[in-house]
Amino acid sequence: MSSIIPGEAQHPQNAAPLATTGMRSPVEQLLHALNQPLTGLQCSMEVALASSRTPEQYVQGLYEGLELTERMRALVEALRAVVDGEEEENEEPETIELKTLLREVLDDLEPIAEVKRVRIVPDWTAASSLALKAGRRRLGTVVFRFVESALSLADSGSALQIETGGAPDEAWIRLRWHAGSPRPAFSRPELGLFVAQAGWARVGAQWERERTQDLETLTVRLPRVSANNVSANSVSANNVPANNRNS
């Protein structure tokens, strides 16, 4: 996984996925990525004003400007989501049962999966309990965006596999799905995964992403707590934001 590099501004369809790294914060990476379509839009306008052009050339320039503007809107939305997540840092951590939260998220996403014709295939057999410490609202937002983005990237008619497991000191979630050609880094589903990755990092999780031919695998590993400390109150579905939809 690599960050956006300067040459990608001219070839957005070949852009590599954004990735949170130790070199730059997620906000810094998004601001850096935002500078590229801004520069492209400015250059496009300067070219249009430099000399007379045919109506067809002006129309083509407008289409290119609209494409750049859409990229900027998607990046700004991702930037806002990352900043909102950082503003929730003061939320009091709670002991949360991860599998309960996942089930509620999958219930919320089932209508979207049906429309897209993607089967959600969960596997809860690996561990009886996956408890961890995190802010309730923050973790609900991260899990929702994480699964929804993967669902958006899955091919129609395929399946999204969700597995959970753990060791005494670690819990993990693994998503697998079949996808066609890689999406541009500026697509909303890819930006959704970037925001989710930033959110997982804030709760101490490690992120692993692999692609073999058309099979994508995402694994998130995070510290867990003893099952004896699991709160009797499971995460409510009302705590999973239903408005963080990726198009």
Q: Are residues 16 and 76 in the same domain?
A: yes
Query: 185-207 b/e with 16+ CB inside 10 Å = b?
Result: bbbbbbbbbbbbbbbbbbbebeb
pLDDT band (50, 70, 90) for residue 98:
confident
Q: Are residues 23 and 46 in the same domain?
A: yes
Q: Are residues 66 and 134 in the same domain?
A: no
Q: Are residues 206 and 174 in the same domain?
A: yes
**Residue where a domain terminates, one of 87, 120, 146:** 87
Q: Are residues 53 and 98 in the same domain?
A: no
Q: Are residues 139 and 180 in the same domain?
A: yes
Task: Tell me the three state secondary structure of residue 220.
Answer: strand
Domain that holds residue 200: 93-239
**Residue where a domain terminates, one of 87, 111, 141:** 87
Q: Are residues 30 and 138 in the same domain?
A: no
Digit-coded pLDDT (tens) for 226-235: 444 443 344 3
With respect to residue 233, please indicate whether it lies within any of the assigned structural domains: yes
pLDDT band (50, 70, 90) for residue 89:
low
Q: Are residues 81 and 106 in the same domain?
A: no
For the chain, give the percent of residues with pLDDT over 70. Answer: 78
Q: Which residues contact 204 (CB under 8 A, 6 or more apart)?
A: 222, 223
pTM above 0.85, yes or no: no
pLDDT band (50, 70, 90) for residue 76:
very high
Digit-coded pLDDT (tens) for 156-209: 999 999 998 877 778 889 999 998 777 877 788 999 999 999 988 888 889 999
Digit-coded pLDDT (tens) for 40-49: 999 988 888 8
With respect to residue 116, please indicate whether it lies within any of the assigned structural domains: yes
Cβ-count burial of 230 within 10 angstroms (0-12 exposed, 13-18 middle, 19+ buried)?
middle
- Averaged pLDDT, 15-20: 53
Please answer whether residues 209 and 179 qualify as being in contact, where contact means their C-beta atoms are separated by less than 8 angstroms: no
Q: Are residues 218 and 120 in the same domain?
A: yes
Number of domains in the chain: 2
Q: What confidence score (pLDDT) does residue 10 get?
A: 36
Q: Are residues 139 and 82 in the same domain?
A: no
Largest CA distance in the chain: 74
Q: Are residues 140 and 63 in the same domain?
A: no
Q: Are residues 31 and 130 in the same domain?
A: no
**Residue where a domain terminates, one of 87, 119, 146:** 87
Q: Which of 13-17, 74-78, 92-96 has the highest mean pLDDT?
A: 74-78
- Averaged pLDDT, 214-225: 86
Q: What confidence score (pLDDT) does residue 182 get?
A: 76
Q: Please list the alpha-helical segments (H only) found in 164-245.
A: 188-202
Q: What confidence score (pLDDT) does residue 83 get?
A: 85
